[in-house]
Amino acid sequence: MALQNPNGFLLTTIENKIATLEFGHPASNSFPSVLLERLTNELNNLSNNSAVLVIILKSSGSGAFCAGASFDELLAVSNQEEATQFFSGFANVLNAMRNCSKIIMGRIHGKAVGGGVGIIAACDYALATTESTIKLSELAIGIGPFVIEPAVSRKIGKSAMTEMTLDTEWKSAIWANQKGLYAKVFATTAELDAEIMAFANKLAAYNPEALLEMKKVFWEGTENWNTLLYERAEISGKLVLSDFSKKALNQLKK
């Protein structure tokens, strides 16, 4: 099933109980709000699909895995409601991943920034290549990684999250592996894909009820995300409208 629009695409293929969910956008696989909504809806659909036991989440191309929020859309927001709604799109995706009844594997082939790091953190199991460096650059544009912080902190801990947030430089894939964001790191995408499929087929052979119950255990203690992430979206929405953020975003545009 292909879901396409001028702001990117979403494609789902299902084979042998494994759903491969691929997203893409011309701007380094960034997310405009319409693509965030489509991803949320598709995750919810797959959660209820009895023919699926495992989801592989990937992005298109050979460049960046995900550049986070749509830069053009960030520039376009003009009021608190619009801004909060935009950041709530990432909250919706993270909650859909958290509540999904299937194990979600992340195929991370390249760089990830901001919201892209949050999406990786919300995967139950992420595999990457040595090219999969990560960065949280939100403070540099006057906001912060408020919405994704619970997901990232849950995966790598508050200390590493603090380091990433305050030091807005790139962190290597090896660093991300050592902190627990990536389960394994491979030298090539060929090796990555071979391991992804081998592991997905292994999971698909397990007892579906056991996988479902373990998924619940993995995410224990996150029930407050139903409100927390939207409170965080409101904070980001307020800050992105500040003079500091507007100036920083316009400078980046030049």
Q: Does 100 fall in a domain?
A: yes
Q: Does 151 fall in a domain?
A: yes
The whole model's pTM is what? 0.96
Cα–Cα distance measured from residue 175 to residue 234, given in angstroms and rounded to the nearest whole number: 31
Quick check: 171 and 135 in contact, CB under 8 A? yes
Domain that holds residue 53: 2-204
- CATH number, domain of 34, equals 3.90.226.10
The pLDDT value given to residue 251: 83
**How many structural domains comprise the chain?**
1
The pLDDT value given to residue 112: 98
The pLDDT value given to residue 16: 96
Quick check: 31 and 115 in contact, CB under 8 A? yes
Q: Does 250 fall in a domain?
A: no
Q: What angle do the packed helices 225-240 and 80-99 form, to 10 degrees?
A: 150
Cα–Cα distance measured from residue 75 to residue 86, given in angstroms and rounded to the nearest whole number: 11
237 to 84, 174, 181, 196, 213: CA distances (angstroms): 4, 33, 27, 36, 35
Amino acid at 235: I
Which residue positions in the chain have pLDDT lower than 50?
1-4
Q: Does 42 fall in a domain?
A: yes
